[in-house]
Amino acid sequence: MRDYSDIYIDGAWVPSDGSGSIEVINAGTEQVMGSIPDGAASDVDKAVAAARRAFDSWAGTPVEERQKYMVRLNEALQARGPEIAEVISGEVGMPITWANMIQAGLPAGNMQNYATLLDDFSFEETIGNSLVVKEPVGVVGAITPWNYPLHQIICKLGGALAAGCTFVLKPSEVAPLNAFILAEIVHEVGLPEGVFNLVSGTGPEVGAAIAAHPDVDMVSFTGSTRAGKAVAAAAAGTVKRVALELGGKSANIVLDDADFTDVIPKGVFACYLNSGQTCTAHTRMLVPRSRYDEAVAVAVATAEGTEVDDPTKEGMHLGPLISQAQWDRVQGYIQKGVDEGAVVAAGGLGKPEGKETGYFVKPTVLAEVTNDMTVAQEEIFGPVLSIIAYDDEDDAVRIANDSLYGLSGGVWSSDQDRAVAVARRMRTGMVDVNGGAFNIAAPFGGYKQSGYGRENGPYGIDEFLQVKSLQL
């Protein structure tokens, strides 16, 4: 059990003004694994005041000194990596093998990457008779999700620290324990008081207070599109900078010249990673109508061969969803698909055999899906793949772009140039071409209702900088 009774403000663990606590449930056992304070808006006031006091000093700290702190954070994250992986595996349900690589490994690597970028990052340039300088935006309020909880925190924190900003964090109350470990690490490495502050609690209370706070200069939010709209509306009152990384309904276009036996299983994996609880998941697989039955058969075989098991076990299987609410949501979408005419080709309703305890879902393939169906338009956040037929390349691009979202996508072809040409036509922030690997140095973010702003790499530092021109 990990029970935290305090929040972290101004370099110290302090009691919350909130009167209650929030229990954290283990996704695999459905048992309580810890608790955190249910924070109050007045906690946000104190955290923001601390961040404001610390800002001038931190912004004026030489880049080399900020970089040293970030390297120490990376080293401490690495040292506690196995512990972090175990905690997030329990909170989120990702199997421990994956959690070590992704939930613990990526955050540490990303913090180091931000630190390394400062070696060559330019905070000023000369344009004609003007000196253009990049300055930290100020106090950043970060509201982060539960699916890749620590990674999404570090995407924001690393860029903000590199830019010279101070930070107030509200982690997801569903998977918050990893954020408290981060606060312990921040304290251990001696980050100056007030530079990093942690206030736990709910979105309607703590998140709303951060978004509307007049002394927060920027709010960076990752989560659902519905919640992102509320954050943007709350932030509008003070005209603060807003960065949003929201939902996705990413299309994976398999062109007619692709090797289906090779690429279809990879496409299924791109949908199912983290049991589908991934904003960039390739949940719509677009295949040529002339090869539709072949594609479905390969996808079904892949789904039926996908193991679902205890997240504490080593292996490359799928774990449970994070909560009962999420399980119910996914079941509702599968039923909605059937009601609208989709065919359950693999998986379907209910839990996998022998997995009555834990929020486990059957890896599911829905066939005969058309792009106007709810399962093709709304984010499900579970291991549910919709397979959609297209007539030709233009039709595939049309279907891919027929979405409120534009976060990610994929293209598969035996001709790399052809795949790139199709990828360029997709209205989405990221496209994996023939399975191109995730790159923490490349910009991460979306088009349309998937949000605005970019994280990771130099773009992730720029996001937290203001631009000033001095005419000389």
- Residues 91, 173, 205, 245: which is the catalytic one? 245
Work out whether the CA dihedral 113, 153, 209, 246 comes out positive or negative. positive
**CA distance linking residue 37 with residue 265, whole number of Å:** 43
Angle between helices 292-304 and 260-272 (to 10 degrees): 50
Q: Which of 155, 165, 279, 455 is catalytic?
A: 279
Is 155 one of the annotated active-site residues of the chain?
no
Radius of gyration of the chain (CA): 22
Residue 245 annotated among the catalytic residues of the structure: yes
Catalytic residues: 245, 279
